[in-house]
Chain A
Amino acid sequence: MSNEKIQAEKEKYEASVAKAIARFPERPHLPEQRLYTPLDIKGDDYAEEISFPGVFPYTRGVQPTMYRGRFWTMRMYAGFSTAEESNKRYRLLIENGATGLSCAFDLPTQIGYDSDDPISEGEVGKVGVAIDSLADMEKLFDQIDLGKVSTSMTINAPASVLLAMYIAVAEKQGVSPDQLKGTIQNDILKEYAARGTYIFPPRPSMRLITNIFEYCSKNVPKWNTISISGYHIREAGSTAAQEIAFTIADGIAYVEAAIKAGLNVDDFAGRLSFFWNAHNNVLEEVAKFRASRRIWAKIMRDRFHAEKPKSMMLRFHTQTAGSMLTAQQPDNNIVRVALQTAAAVMGGTQSLHTNSRDEALALPSEASVQIALRTQQIVAYESGLADVIDPLAGSYYVEAMTDRIEKEAMEYIKKIDEMGGAVAAIEKGYIQKEIQDSAYKWQMDVESGARTIVGVNKFQVEEEPPKGLLKVDASVGEKQVKKLHEMKAGRDNEAVKAALADLKKACEDENENLMPHILAAVKTYATLGEICNVMRGVFGEYEAHISL
């Protein structure tokens, strides 16, 4: 059918349904049209915009084989309490068929404080595992072969220290650094913009990140040195287009920083990975994943002149949206997570964490974690969604939405470029403000009923408080502090002092790569807090820009 003919038919259709549709109540937040046709994607050049999986611009997926080769990595984020407790949970997950580990650290660890620091009171072991020194890291990976498992660590400001500890544990197991597989999040910019666990100001933080890029490209070549994260931006309330726009703007800042530090783009770009949110609107999410791949490929090719295909591929981990879980009728969350999983899989994710139904109430219990993992397995083995590559390609609606999200995101990226890049935009509070505006709008929409959340503002029931929630043992803090003090009494304190003095000197010399010095320090069992305090002394601390 020619475009003119389709146009004419479409008009006929619209006229025929107009009267009927006028009788239905208008629902807000609907797409522009009720029906999409070839007219909506007539501008798409198949080779340049869609193409084949494993081929530029990777809209259809980064590998040629995608899930016909192997499924995504089912990677469950876990960690709480002490290293010993978390180690048990990890081994249980591996027994259950999880194919990668994902470590959650407690907040003092994420912000570079030891468990005995006064500011850590009440927080030790709460949202993740407490790691004070190499001694804890050894226990965390006890009886887990680091040569086989791939490990993702959600750690940002002190990522260099945790990575150094991981390398040191592997060495003790007899595994050399070039065998290690995994990811550190290491994405400081989104900490300033959305997640809040920053330590140092942007400039030294960017230096630490490029130091890691450089060190890993030589010594830990299979390691993903950064996971540029939109997840938390979305959790903070952004829209889908904002999620990928702000994150890709962060990605551009990292690439620029690394190039400025003298690295060759093709030497590090292949180790960059991304981290997306899988939200409730299944089709919009699929379009978002596809658009993000296309945008990154074009930017890496056209703006940074990358040559290796790997440098242009946007590989990503996905987590289902925690902020979309409801405390009301928590079992409904299983269904939400299943739909979010479907979106991530049809969007071609490389790995996936599925949230547990009880996470709006507490940390997940073992039983809930198992359902969440089973959700991925059902989607993989039973649903058929993983049977062909990029199954929604060619859908008029999904392709049109992919174009729309790409366009919206590129407009943001252009605006951020004009402000001087992501760092400047964050320092001005621009990105934070955009996110907050979206979050506020969402909340007001929910309260006005313009947006329906089942069980929250519609279909509510009287409920009994849920049972069987996980409670972190209140004495974890004390136990951890006791362990820390015992460890400190047993180590060679002179060696620690010397290593920290050496690290301080290295921090003061901007041209020095800090990784070897940090590695040397963790091997003396210098604590995370001690190491970060040395860096705080030289680098200072970040002061948040908040504009409401």
Chain B
Amino acid sequence: MEKKIRVLVAKPGLDGHDRGAKVIARALRDAGFEVIYTGLRQTPEQIAEAALQEDVNVVAMSILSGAHPHLFPKVVNLLHEKGMKDVLIIGGGVIPEADIPALKEAGIAAVFTPGTNTSDVVDFIKNNVKM
């Protein structure tokens, strides 16, 4: 058996700041994960469907525009609707502390804000992924 953690790294919304998403994608690859990067301007529907087709264990999203309260929960709901109930969903970006409880309530397992080490993200995934 050759299990690999598969992660979809996605940028929902319209912002083009993908430095963080790309750095994370590389770091996850270097940690031995299979990373599917979907690029900019993905709608929640596209992200959820790509996650389903790729049967990923983790969906990692990054938003810097402030659209996270709207878009993150939408992705969670769509994933659940599609039967992807075990998938670990995490978010990152410029996200005010005050918004985090609501995001967690909505099903985002962890929120990583600026200054996070990529190794913390790797560890979080390893410790929390369901396979």
B21 and chain A: residue at smallest CB distance: A548
Which A residues touch B65, using CB under 8 A?
107, 123, 126-127
Which B residues touch A381, using CB under 8 A?
none
Which residues in chain B, 75-126, are within 8 Å of chain A measured between CB atoms?
94, 96-98, 113-115, 117-119
Q: Which of B15, B19, B27, B113 contacts A127 (CB 8 A)?
A: B15
- Given the interface pairs A123-B67, A362-B66, A363-B66, the reply to whether A197 lies near B115 with Cβ below 8 Å is no
Which residues in chain A, 226-258, are within 8 Å of chain B measured between CB atoms?
235-237
Which B residues touch A118, using CB under 8 A?
43
Indicate if B59 sits at the interface (CB-CB under 8 A): no
Q: Which of B71, B96, B119 contacts A122 (CB 8 A)?
A: B71
B13 and chain A: residue at smallest CB distance: A123
Indicate if B32 sits at the interface (CB-CB under 8 A): no
Number of interface residues of B (CB under 8 A): 34
B71 and chain A: residue at smallest CB distance: A122
Q: What's the nearest-Cβ distance from chain A to residue B94, in Å?
A: 7
Indicate if A417 sits at the interface (CB-CB under 8 A): no
Q: Which of A110, A111, A323 contacts B19 (CB 8 A)?
A: A323
Inter-chain contact B16/A197, CB cutoff 8 Å: yes
Inter-chain contact B16/A195, CB cutoff 8 Å: yes
Binds B, one of A39-47, A167-175, A436-444: A436-444
Pick 20 A–B contacts, CB within 8 A, sort by A: A119-B14, A119-B43, A122-B67, A122-B70, A195-B17, A196-B15, A237-B23, A327-B113, A327-B115, A328-B115, A362-B66, A436-B26, A439-B22, A439-B23, A443-B27, A446-B117, A447-B119, A453-B115, A472-B66, A544-B39
Complex: how many Å from CA A65 to CA B113?
45
Indicate if B25 sits at the interface (CB-CB under 8 A): yes
Complex: how many Å from CA A219 to CA B116?
50
A437 and chain B: residue at smallest CB distance: B26
Which B residues touch A113, using CB under 8 A?
14
- The DSSP consensus for interface residues of chain A is loop
Q: Which of B16, B23, B25, B26 contacts A191 (CB 8 A)?
A: B16
- Given the interface pairs A440-B23, A544-B39, the reply to whether A326 lies near B14 with Cβ below 8 Å is no
Indicate if B37 sits at the interface (CB-CB under 8 A): yes
Which B residues touch A456, using CB under 8 A?
115
| B-contact bits for A416-455, CB 8 A (1 contact / 0 none) | 0000000000000000000010011001001100000100
Complex: how many Å from CA A108 to CA B111?
25
- Given the interface pairs A126-B67, A196-B40, A548-B26, the reply to whether A361 lies near B94 with Cβ below 8 Å is yes
Indicate if B18 sits at the interface (CB-CB under 8 A): yes
Q: Which residues of A contact B (CB under 8 A)?
A: 107-108, 110-111, 113, 118-123, 126-127, 191, 195-197, 235-237, 323, 325-328, 360-363, 436, 439-440, 443, 446-447, 453, 456-457, 465-466, 469, 471-472, 474, 544, 546, 548
Inter-chain contact B14/A111, CB cutoff 8 Å: yes
Inter-chain contact A447/B118, CB cutoff 8 Å: yes
Complex: how many Å from CA A197 to CA B13?
12
- Given the interface pairs A107-B14, A548-B37, the reply to whether A326 lies near B26 with Cβ below 8 Å is no
Which B residues touch A235, using CB under 8 A?
17, 19
Which B residues touch A121, using CB under 8 A?
70-71
- Given the interface pairs A196-B17, A436-B22, A548-B22, the reply to whether A360 lies near B114 with Cβ below 8 Å is yes
Inter-chain contact A326/B15, CB cutoff 8 Å: no
B29 and chain A: residue at smallest CB distance: A548
B11 and chain A: residue at smallest CB distance: A196
Which B residues touch A191, using CB under 8 A?
16
Inter-chain contact B19/A236, CB cutoff 8 Å: yes
- Given the interface pairs A439-B19, A443-B118, the reply to whether A108 lies near B14 with Cβ below 8 Å is yes
Which B residues touch A471, using CB under 8 A?
96
Which A residues touch B17, using CB under 8 A?
195-196, 235-236
Which B residues touch A457, using CB under 8 A?
117
Which A residues touch B118, using CB under 8 A?
443, 447
Q: What's the nearest-Cβ distance from chain A to residue B122, in Å?
A: 11
Which A residues touch B25, using CB under 8 A?
548
Inter-chain contact B40/A122, CB cutoff 8 Å: no
Which A residues touch B19, using CB under 8 A?
235-237, 323, 439
Complex: how many Å from CA A222 to CA B83?
59
Inter-chain contact B23/A362, CB cutoff 8 Å: no
Complex: how many Å from CA A107 to CA B63?
12
Which B residues touch A546, using CB under 8 A?
37, 39
Complex: how many Å from CA A40 to CA B21?
41
Which A residues touch B119, using CB under 8 A?
447
Complex: how many Å from CA A362 to CA B15?
14
Q: Which of B14, B22, B39, B96 contacts A469 (CB 8 A)?
A: B96
Which B residues touch A465, using CB under 8 A?
96-98
Which B residues touch A436, using CB under 8 A?
22-23, 26
Which B residues touch A440, using CB under 8 A?
22-23, 26-27
Excluding A107-B15, A436-B22, A544-B40, 10 further A-B contacts by CB distance (< 8 Å) are A113-B14, A191-B16, A236-B17, A237-B19, A327-B115, A361-B96, A361-B97, A457-B117, A472-B66, A548-B26
Which A residues touch B18, using CB under 8 A?
196, 236
Inter-chain contact A107/B13, CB cutoff 8 Å: yes
Inter-chain contact B97/A466, CB cutoff 8 Å: yes
Which B residues touch A236, using CB under 8 A?
17-19
Which A residues touch B115, using CB under 8 A?
326-328, 360, 453, 456
Inter-chain contact A127/B66, CB cutoff 8 Å: yes
Q: What's the nearest-Cβ distance from chain A to residue B116, in Å?
A: 9
A359 and chain B: residue at smallest CB distance: B94
